[in-house]
Structure formats: structure tokens, C-alpha cells
Chains A and B, each alone.
Chain A
Amino acid sequence: MTHPERDDEFEAFLKHRTVLPHGVSVDDKLEPPHALDEQVLRKAREAIHADKQSQRAPRWAMPMAIAATVLLCLSIALNVSLNTNRPVPEQQRLTVANADKPVAESRADDANVLDSISVTATRREVGDERKAAGAANAIAQADTGSADGIDGAKSTAAATGRARAESVPDAKLTAVRPPVLADAQSPAFGSVAAPEANELESVAVTGTRRAAKSKSEGYMQPAERSAAPALPVPSAAAPAATALPSAPAPASGAPAAASASHPLDPGTWLKQIDALRAQGRTGEADAEMQRFRAAFPKYPVKPGAGGQSAATPDPPAR
């Protein structure tokens, strides 16, 4: 319980904020000394300067940032330039069905040539020989159609083809010149002996070796038949095959050279030679025999027979 007088006094204090008698002031004029003011203001000023200095980037930050940016740009450019000269791994995973369509359509640029080569490799992996032959056929078709843009593709394909030919372990595998490449010896394409053409040819041959195997068994894709009207049939195509100018081949590459002009295995080849002899074309048969020897020097041939009856492990039934 509070006293009424005290309440009045308290209310008066709340109003005037002093308990001192009227007109009396104890320390109303008390102020901090000037030196203390200076000290506080100097401290405040120093704190601001320290903030500005700490917010300022260090002296080495700008050169470091520039160097890092340049290094990053160079590494990106180098990476891009290196990756543009080799097939992208994803392209090799293209399915055969997807690859067949655009290959023939988008042959104008080199990148698509690389695509088709990669697709060929994929086909070899999956063992789809017939479609591989069709793709090679399509490549050759497009090549004959665009002679201007072929140079880059040929060089690239040659490199890829050589690499793949070296990686093929089966040296006895007889490769077949793609039928369309026979067409490619048109004037627009130039000479078959031209290095670029040979390289492209070897690539296509490499890509279609297994397809040739199926061809030797008598199978041919409809697309191939339509695209290759001059494909030499084993019996009747021997003259055409011999008429082709054969490119000079090194001794170590003789089988490859022979395989490039003769699509057959040794037994079939000997049969063709025998057929030539039977037709009385002895000179051609001898020339073929020489090429056969060069291609298969260790293949057993009955001596004195002149190749008429090859003592092959699997002698032909005559």
C-alpha cells in the first residue's frame, strides 16, 4: 500500500526526472573531456579504415584471376581441338538401324563420314555382316556423288581404315573390294591408283571384309546389287577383275593387294584360274597364278598342274 503523498512525489519525479530541489542541478554541465572525444572519434575512424583495407582485394588477386582465366581458356581450346579430330565414342554406339538412314543422306560433311566409319566398326563388333556391307556400300555411293567433299573424308577414313586393318588378326581373311568402289573409278573419282582413293578403298574393304565373306557364299544385299552393276561375278567377272589396274603393293602387303583385286579364297581363286585355262586364256591364267603365288606363297598347289588342280585342303569337286 503506497502513501498518497508519495504517489504525488513519484508522479512529479516521473514528470521532471529529478529529485533535486528546484533550480538545483548537480552535474547538468558535466561533459566528457575533449581528449576523450578525440580518442573515441579516432578509434571509430581507424575501425572504418581497417574495414576498407580488409575489404580491398589483395594485390595478387587480379593477376592470379587473369592467369587462371587464360589457363582455363587454353585448356578448353586444346581439349576441343583434340577431340574434334577423332571419332566420338558415343558415335560408335549408334545402332545399325539409326545409322543406315542418315548415312546416305548426310554425306556432305566430314563429320558424317566419321560417323559412318564408326558405324562400320560397330557393325563389325555386333557381327551384323550384311548391314555392314550395306553401310559401306552407302559410303561409297555418297563418295561418288560428292567428289568435292570427299578429300577430307577419304583422308580421315584412310587413317581409320589403316588402323583397323592392322588390328585385324586374321591375315588370311580375304577382303573384297566393295562393288561400289569399282564404280568409283569413274573419271570424277580419279584413278584407283591414286593414294587417297586407295586409302578410302582400304577403309571400305576393311569395313566390309566380313561382308565379303558372305558375298563369297553367294549372298548379296539388294542395295548392293543395285548400287554395283559391275560387280564381278566369280565366273564371269574374272576378266573385269584382271582388267582392273592393280596398284603396286609392297612385299609385306601382298596379300592385302591381292585381296583387294580378288575377292575369293584360295580355293575359289584357283578355280577361276582353272576356268581361265579351260577357256584357253592361258596368259591371263598365268598372270593370275603369279598373283595368287604372291598372295598365298605357301598355299599348296599341285606342281606341274599350272594351277589346274590345286591340292587344296578342300579340293574343289571337278
Chain B
Amino acid sequence: MTPDDDGDLMLRYARGDMRAFETLYSRHRAALYRYLARHTRNLETANDLFQEVWSKVIVSRDRYEPRAQFRTFLYRIAHNCFIDHYRRAAVRHESNGGEDGWESALPGSDQDRPDTRAEQAQITAQYRAALAALPAEQRDVFLLYESGLSLDEIATINAVGMETAKSRLRYAVAKLRATLAPMAEAFPPNVAAMQERGA
């Protein structure tokens, strides 16, 4: 997958090629959904925002210009959608009360043992708590970086300088590590998982 391919697919969709959109959607649907789910911590809200983001992509197909990567374009829309949602939720005083057990929606592995599943749930709960405790800007930068975007792209999406984005990311990582350090000691390193991530 190359960025040019994404831009080209979007242009083809703007000319009426539905298959191009299907390809584009299949490439980005999961990462975008995870980003929104982590941000909102509510699957129902994530579903709404996910649909809203793609609706805006569809509507803006005629105005799309491949000046930047399509991923930057997509996540900028998602970022703005989330900010709008965050403002609406703040007005309704629902920002802290909308969480659900979204990790329960994850498909479980057959190889997972019950004890392992319980440990995972514990780590996930701590991780979510630490993530929620982050300031919104730092959380956003962190989630965007986890989604695979570069610091340059994150700076573009947040309309800040690259150093600012990097600084926010540094603070977010430090806070999360501080929260999750005891858990890290409890879990031995998984070499296979590290190789899978390209380490």
C-alpha cells in the first residue's frame, strides 16, 4: 500500500468507481475504528463517529486533492469529528459517563486461557484508566501515533508544529508507562509478539 494508491483510489471513487472506494475502505476501516473506539471509550459513539467520518469522506470526494496522504485526510476528519463530539458531550455533561465495556466486544482467542484472559482484562482496565487520565491533546497524539501515523502527519492533523506533537507524545508515553510499569514487570517479554510488531 502506498500513499499514492490511496489518493488515486479516492480520485477514482470521485469519478464513480465504487470498487476503488471499497478497497480504500477495507484498508482503513479497522485502524480508524480502533482510534475512535479508544478515543470515545464507547462503541456506540464510536460507531456513530465512524459513520460520520466516512460520510464526510464521501461528501468531500469531489473536493479531494491528493496534496497530502489520504490517511492524513481521513484522520483529520476523524479528529475534527471527535472534537465536535467531545464539545457536544461536554455540553451535555456526559463526557465521563458514557464508557461501556467495549473490550468485551473484542473477539476472544481460543488459545486464551481463563487466567490469561483475567490478566488481560486487568491490564486493559489499567490502560484505559491511564489513557483516560491523559489530557485530550496528549491522548489524541498518542492514539494517532498508535494508529500508525507519523509525527509529521499528526502535527498536520492537529494543526500544530511537529515539535509540539512530539512533546505531547513524549508526555503521554511517560504517563502511561508510569501507570503500566507494575504490569510490565508482571508480564514476561513475548518475543513472538515483538517480532510480529517488527521490533
Contacts and interface: CB of A to CB of B under 8 A. Distances in A.
Contacts of A44: 13, 18, 21, 25, 54, 58
Interface in B156-199: 169-170, 173-174, 176-177, 180, 183-184, 186-194, 197-199
Given A10-B173, A47-B61, A30 B55 contact: no
A48 interface: yes
Contacts of A45: 18
Interface in B106-134: 106-107, 120, 123-124, 127-128
B131 to A, nearest CB: 9
Contact of B174 (A10, A17, A47, A48): A10
A51 B59 CA distance: 11
A11 B172 CA distance: 13
Contacts of B124: 26
A23 interface: yes
A318 interface: no
Contact of A32 (B47, B145, B176, B199): B47
A27 B148 contact: no
B70 interface: no
B85 interface: no
Interface stretch (A33-41, A168-176, A275-283): A33-41
Interface string A99-131: 000000000000000000000000000000000
A21 interface: yes
Contacts of A37: 25, 29
B51 A20 contact: no
Nearest to B54: A40
13 contacts: A9-B177, A16-B194, A19-B176, A20-B127, A21-B183, A22-B189, A24-B120, A27-B38, A29-B106, A30-B34, A30-B37, A31-B29, A36-B50
Interface of A: 2, 6, 9-10, 13-33, 36-37, 39-41, 43-45, 47-48, 51-52
Closest 10 CB pairs of A and B: A23-B190, A21-B187, A23-B193, A22-B189, A21-B184, A32-B33, A19-B176, A22-B190, A40-B54, A13-B173
Given A21-B123, A30-B37, 17 more contacts: A14-B145, A16-B198, A17-B145, A22-B194, A23-B189, A24-B183, A27-B102, A27-B106, A29-B106, A30-B34, A36-B51, A37-B25, A37-B29, A43-B55, A44-B25, A45-B18, A47-B58
